[in-house]
Amino acid sequence: MISFNYENKFSLSNESLLSKWIQTVISSEGFKLGEVNYIFCDDDYLHKINVEFLNHDTLTDIISFDYTVGKIIQGDIYISTERVEDNANDFKVSFDNELQRVLVHGILHYCGYKDKTDDEAKIMRSKEDYYLSQLAQIE
């Protein structure tokens, strides 16, 4: 089950489409969906989590807590909509495009993809681009 939770004034207008897409990504990667919670929040909310749980005193767009067991994807994905908006402006893409990239980014981490090295980041970006193109076909 995928659930979308809101800790700020943001809300998705297309939850069912995004849920279907995320489930497709999970199955395409050879995993099964357990329970994934997306929590949309502001910078302050996510910054507190970053400091408290990760000892990182920085702003970020996404923090994911991975509870995956074997091939069953489970976790909590926190997304700062303020960071997503700023990043969309910086990268000169739409807010929706950047948000979709972040949504799939968290899931790809749960599927085992990393982004710490340049090579890992290149593979992650390629996977994101591929699944973003798949979303366009679902819409």
Mark the binding-site residues for Zn(2+), compressed into ranges.
105, 109, 115
CA terminus-to-terminus distance, the chain: 20
In angstroms, the CA 2 to CA 95 distance is 21
Burial class (CB in 10 A: 0-12, 13-18, 19+), 58: exposed
Residue set of the binding site: 105, 109, 115
Residue type, 100: Q
**Alpha carbon distance 99, 106 (integer Å):** 11
